[in-house]
Amino acid sequence: MAEPEFHRYETREALAEALASGVAAVLAGAIATEGVARLAVSGGSTPKRFFERLAQAEIDWADVTITLVDERWVPEDSERSNAAMLRRHLLAGPAAAARFVPFYEPSAMPEEVFDTLNDRFHRIGRAFDVVILGMGTDGHTASWFPNAPGLAQCLDPATDDTVAIAHPPSQDEPRVTLTFPLVVDARFLALHIEGEEKLQTFAAAKGEGPVEEMPVRAVLQADRREPLQVFWAP
Ligand SMILES: O=C(O)[C@H](O)[C@@H](O)[C@H](O)[C@H](O)COP(=O)(O)O
């Protein structure tokens, strides 16, 4: 198991620039060798600056499929929608030409459309070229929340499902998320965190303890050829 590679930046702007240029290079490489590239990004508030820099990259965005690592089960007119945030900050400028695959379907509960979602994400193709994860100060990543109902399905290393549903008590709505195998199969896998509190959380997650208590541990402990790339700024 390769140790994570930790990249520390003086400012969040410098981090956004570096991460955006690294991701653009990986996507351009995938397009050059395979004709297509697949990118999955997390929502939340941290990635906005990074999205805005990446959106300006001069690559063949028409050959790129972009999706989310996870979504809150809300329509895109909700301020909680990751898809809406991604459309606003990433699907702009040159990157507007990319194909975006969202999660949300108008249904009361995600369970009603699980097969539709599972099939949709199977169709994207098995391995993502790039997956960008965020992390909460509770040690969750994606929508893999500590001890949440549905967490086992999210983390099952043997599942063929591409998506899982979680009902974290700490969250206002159900969550849908990519499953563990799809995330850790990514060629370039990065964890993008900012601030002192998340640095402490990361340090705690690297320590001993159950994965269920800090699900980001599943990524830190994953047996990958390429090391996890951690991007941090104060
Ligand atoms: O839907 C989400 O919220 C994300 O996908 C989630 O995993 C996020 O990366 C962390 O919660 C960090 O969120 P912040 O960037 O807002 O701290």
Query: Is residue 161 lining ligand 1, measured as CB closer than 6 Å?
Result: no
Of all protein residues, the one whose alpha carbon is nearest to atom 9 of ligand 1 is 134
Mutate to test the pocket of ligand 1, among 12, 15, 141, 170 (most ligand atoms within 8 A of CB): 141
State how far the Cα of 80 lies from the Cα of 193, in Å rounded to an integer. 20
Q: Give the 3-state secondary structure of residue 29.
A: helix
Q: How far is the CA of 70 from the centre of ligand 1 (A)?
A: 9
In 3-state terms, what secondary structure has residue 186? Answer: coil
Residue 3, ligand 1, Cβ within 6 A: no
| 142 pocket-lining for ligand 1 (C-beta < 6 Å) | yes
Nearest Cα residue to 129 out of 67, 71, 82: 67
Q: How many Å apart are CA 150 and CA 142, to the nearest integer?
A: 13
Query: ∠ CA(62), CA(67), CA(71), 5° rounding?
Result: 155
> What's the gap between Cα 47 and its chain centre?
10
Q: What is the pLDDT of residue 1?
A: 66
| Number of domain units in the chain | 1
Q: How far is the CA of 107 from the centre of ligand 1 (A)?
A: 23
pLDDT given at position 126? 74
The candidate with the shortest Cα–Cα distance to 130, out of 192, 37, 47, 204, is 37
pLDDT score at 71? 98
Residue with tokens 């060629």: 187
Q: ipTM higher than 0.95?
A: yes
Domain that holds residue 177: 5-233
* pLDDT string in tens for the chain (234-residue length): 678 999 999 999 999 999 999 999 999 999 999 999 999 999 999 999 999 999 999 999 999 999 999 999 999 999 999 999 999 999 999 999 999 999 999 998 999 999 999 999 999 987 999 999 999 999 999 999 999 999 999 999 999 999 999 999 999 999 999 999 999 999 999 999 999 999 999 999 999 999 999 999 999 999 999 999 999 999
Q: Is 211 helix (H, G, I), strand (E, B) or coil?
A: coil
For residue 114, the domain's CATH number is 3.40.50.1360
Q: Residue 30: name the closest of 133, 119, 97, 125 by CA.
A: 125
- Which pTM value belongs to this model? 0.98
Distance 137 CA to ligand 1 centre (A): 10
Report DSSP state, residue 73: S
- pLDDT, one tens digit per residue, over 72-124 is 999 999 999 999 999 999 999 999 999 999 999 999 899 999 999 999 999 99
State the DSSP code for 210.
Answer: -
* Other CB atoms within 10 A of residue 69 CB: 25
